[in-house]
Structure 1
């Protein structure tokens, strides 16, 4: 896949005059103001970074731009004209497209059908499949994809699906494309290909707003960066005049010299043991242990089998053999219900699809795992206890909300959603915590808060098994690192022996499991 260099629709001229201007935008929810006069401008052919902690107002601002929300006061101009979209369709017609973390593709349809799903070309009363597939082939050639217009999306890797999303935007003549955390599901190779594509879009004069918590990518990719903090505009800065540390200071309003917090704790006896465990579909037995108060990292490349292993250990996917001991007691035929009963919690890697019920309130999500404990003999939930539990955990995990009983989790920022997921499991008072990519899509400030709480769980005697694709994260917070390669644990490395090059070598090539 290469950069988008073809001249579909004609190359747009690049100008220093703003294509988009947002001036003094205010927005309130439930009487609480969340945007306090935010400013943003975007020029043709520019890649503009948009950063800020979770809850800073990025999603709300982009939802206003996309016609999802109205705004209370301020002015938006697009191409010099006043712009006030009442619906997302208004934004689409104005040439604004979103590429979100969760793709809006229909996996059971073909590439061509997805490109035209809301406006199939017609020939009389029938769909003109020939025209549709010819047009889809233009984008396949543009991005040098090794697929057919008739390829079903469900068979495509995540990186190619993202290119299909971008093609949809271009087919609708998008002048502005907003990328919201676009690399969270991509492999390193797919990420590099995406950056090539964005470079090609920029060369054609398409304007990009790039939202990401991976500041290295923002620094590398963007021309300028707009920083939001607590619903306020901190400013827009030339990237040539910034470095990562300065961006963090602007985002959080303070210096953050320590990315990974430390805490005094004591590591005790084994609290969770796995012996010769085989998940369904794998022939490789896995053995591991987690001690009381220990944070064990699990690192590996995409496809190494980390998520599948955690899911099987929790009983969400079948297993074919092996032994599990929880505090010395055998856990036979694990199921999610049995695991929860034995004090095991599982934060999955997909908070929106598997961790939360998005149309429900914060309170309902926080208490869902322990609702049976709050239900009396007559089957009536003790609402006062439910409210008290939710408020305590919202405060403990510093979830930013105006009202946990009324606010829906779908309206929270990604970092605050993740805190709600963790709070949900903390309510069950677990002794063992599985965490799969717990800080994915979370800003640096919220990451620090989540790290601090993970450390607190360990200090209180909980054992934590933490899967992460970020090398710095597992080295920064974990006491040991297990490295997975093709469904096998090939290394068990203690903190004193952490070495980035060595860990990567195990992840790339496998090896003989050792103790360091």
Structure 2
């Protein structure tokens, strides 16, 4: 059992909950961590920040036993440890909540929480004891959830609570949370922050790995910033600011939360009338005009992704009509949508947006092979492909060791830059873009935002789907909110605020369809 402060002899100093000393980890061609020190004390919420490739994920992988360091040591409660796998880390009191929840949707909350660590009676699983254990943990830590509810029926915020309860049931004293608010509404994020503060007050330790400055300032006690594999700053949250953290991450001043000026609207480029796509998308009406960015906000799972797939020709339309630049593309293929004037950045950059096994250069050529890089007898000119890749790599700051290497060697953020650059280079009348800056560092976010606005100002139409409300508010000329598969509210730029959007995302606001559809607020 870990000594509590009151258990220590007079004058004794409590050992840190987690201490990493001189952690160095090198991969072929990359020094991911370079003599990194990190100290996290009991009862502390410690934020770990940095740009893509700064070394955050590698450092946490070392701590959680997923990677072995080349040099350095790990100490838990003052005792040096060597983890061979995450099981060893869990046995030492560590627990990690990943971005992608690892739950069985067909099982109940209680069954998920106690899975592989079930209370038993006479050799059988004691279901009553399991439910009682979940109720006890939920009440103690402010994680209210019904033990008998099926996980598949729960909203994402409650599923996250189940993940935390799983760790607490297994005795986790230090919790590592990786981008925990990526799929939460503002209200759900605030509820999570309250839970984390309660856990810290009870002596638990939290390491928060995130890109979001707002949540760091709202909930953390201290911040460690990594840059290029090294510690760039150690900051006390109460004595720092978002600007200082951003400067430490990037090495330069960054303009945060910029709200771009509205565009100058032209003719309708995308027209959607009473569109349905199975049960996921129901009677959606919307328009996007040239010179306009229309944002779509909503909690994950409310039909945004399915709407985008239908508009890109990747999901069958069961009712309604879609026009692109005056051409009916309701039932057109993905290639037909592209030919009609669509550029598309999907949410899933690995499975849909890119071919990870193909080279960076070949990925950047995709979609351009019939236009700027027109093939000769079915073969693309290698010199033209390389020159095209070099231009886009430089323009969008894609960190690639060589264009000939597989796209799989890129970090998630750099793969996202690849997709953005490739699609903007099409100069298509309509850009359909999902989560354009997910997993992208602060400096690159500013560049991508500027590129999207410049695309709009060049006379193109943009339909933007994002879970980041600051991104929606900063870029959009008009915002639509989706709830349970329908567009339930619309707001012009001058009426946007986070509270209003958060209420609508939670289903608390419904507007008439005609107000949602025509977008003629101006």
2:509 alignment counterpart: 509
Higher mean C-alpha displacement, 250-259 vs 218-227: 250-259
Secondary structure, counterpart of 2:463 in structure 1: strand
Structure 1 position 58, deviation (Å): 1.1
Does 1:222 pair with 2:209? Answer: no
Deviations 1:119-178 (A, max 9, x none): 5566787656555455444434444534234x4321221112111111221222222111
1:174 alignment counterpart: 172
Structure 1 position 185, deviation (Å): 0.8
How far apart, CA to CA, are the structure 1 residues paired with 2:397 and 2:182? Answer: 24
Higher mean C-alpha displacement, 375-384 vs 319-328: 375-384
Over 3 Å counting, the alpha-carbon distance change for 1:237 and 1:490 in structure 2 is closer
Does 1:412 pair with 2:411? Answer: yes
How far apart, CA to CA, are the structure 2 residues paired with 1:172 and 1:378? Answer: 62
How far apart, CA to CA, are the structure 1 residues paired with 2:491 and 2:42? Answer: 51
Structure 1 position 422, deviation (Å): 2.6
Secondary structure, counterpart of 1:316 in structure 2: coil
Higher mean C-alpha displacement, 432-441 vs 275-284: 275-284
How far apart, CA to CA, are the structure 2 residues paired with 1:88 and 1:404? Answer: 35
Does 1:148 pair with 2:147? Answer: yes
How far apart, CA to CA, are the structure 1 residues paired with 2:120 and 2:481? Answer: 54
Over 3 Å counting, the alpha-carbon distance change for 1:326 and 1:45 in structure 2 is same
Q: CA RMSD in A?
A: 3.9
Over 3 Å counting, the alpha-carbon distance change for 1:204 and 1:258 in structure 2 is closer
2:285 alignment counterpart: 286
Q: Is the 8 A contact 2:101 2:163 kept in 1?
A: yes
What pairs with 1:67-106 in structure 2 (closer than 5 Å)?
A: 67-106=65-104
How far apart, CA to CA, are the structure 2 residues paired with 1:134 and 1:506? Answer: 34
Does 1:271 pair with 2:269? Answer: yes
Structure 1 position 182, deviation (Å): 0.3
How far apart, CA to CA, are the structure 1 residues paired with 2:262 and 2:186? Answer: 35
Q: TM-score if structure 2 supplies the norm length?
A: 0.81
Deviations 1:2-27 (A, max 9, x none): xxxxxxx9995487532222223222
Deviations 1:181-226 (A, max 9, x none): 1011112332222122212221221111112222121112111111
1:454 alignment counterpart: 452
2:157 alignment counterpart: 159
Q: Which residue, out of 431, 434, 448, partners 1:433? A: 431
Structure 1 position 87, deviation (Å): 2.3
Q: TM-score if structure 1 supplies the norm length?
A: 0.82
1:6 alignment counterpart: none
Over 3 Å counting, the alpha-carbon distance change for 1:358 and 1:176 in structure 2 is farther
2:20 alignment counterpart: 22
How far apart, CA to CA, are the structure 1 residues paired with 2:357 and 2:409? Answer: 6
How far apart, CA to CA, are the structure 2 residues paired with 1:406 and 1:70? Answer: 25
Over 3 Å counting, the alpha-carbon distance change for 1:46 and 1:466 in structure 2 is same
Secondary structure, counterpart of 1:197 in structure 2: helix
Secondary structure, counterpart of 1:247 in structure 2: helix
Higher mean C-alpha displacement, 75-84 vs 44-53: 75-84
Q: Is the 8 A contact 1:181 1:441 kept in 2?
A: no
What pairs with 1:334-349 in structure 2 (closer than 5 Å)?
A: 334-349=332-347
1:111 alignment counterpart: 109
Higher mean C-alpha displacement, 395-404 vs 364-373: 364-373
2:137 alignment counterpart: 139
Over 3 Å counting, the alpha-carbon distance change for 1:138 and 1:261 in structure 2 is closer
User: Which sections of structure 1, spanning at least 5 residues, go unmatched?
Assistant: 1-8
Q: Is the 8 A contact 1:389 1:427 kept in 2?
A: no
How far apart, CA to CA, are the structure 2 residues paired with 1:189 and 1:263? Answer: 28
Q: Is the 8 A contact 2:359 2:403 kept in 1?
A: yes
Secondary structure, counterpart of 2:37 in structure 1: strand
Q: Which residue, out of 321, 331, 334, partners 1:333? A: 331
How far apart, CA to CA, are the structure 2 residues paired with 1:259 and 1:31? Answer: 35
Structure 1 position 312, deviation (Å): 2.7
Deviations 1:413-452 (A, max 9, x none): 4x33432443454576643211223234444222112212
Aligned length: 503
Over 3 Å counting, the alpha-carbon distance change for 1:360 and 1:26 in structure 2 is farther
Q: Is the 8 A contact 2:186 2:502 kept in 1?
A: no
Higher mean C-alpha displacement, 193-202 vs 359-368: 359-368
How far apart, CA to CA, are the structure 2 residues paired with 1:108 and 1:418? Answer: 33
Q: Is the 8 A contact 2:274 2:282 kept in 1?
A: no
Q: Is the 8 A contact 1:13 1:205 kept in 2?
A: no
How far apart, CA to CA, are the structure 2 residues paired with 1:418 and 1:136? Answer: 39
Q: Is the 8 A contact 1:263 1:459 kept in 2?
A: no
User: Which sections of structure 2, spanning at least 5 residues, go unmatched?
Assistant: 7-12
1:445 alignment counterpart: 443
How far apart, CA to CA, are the structure 2 residues paired with 1:363 and 1:204? Answer: 52
Over 3 Å counting, the alpha-carbon distance change for 1:334 and 1:175 in structure 2 is same
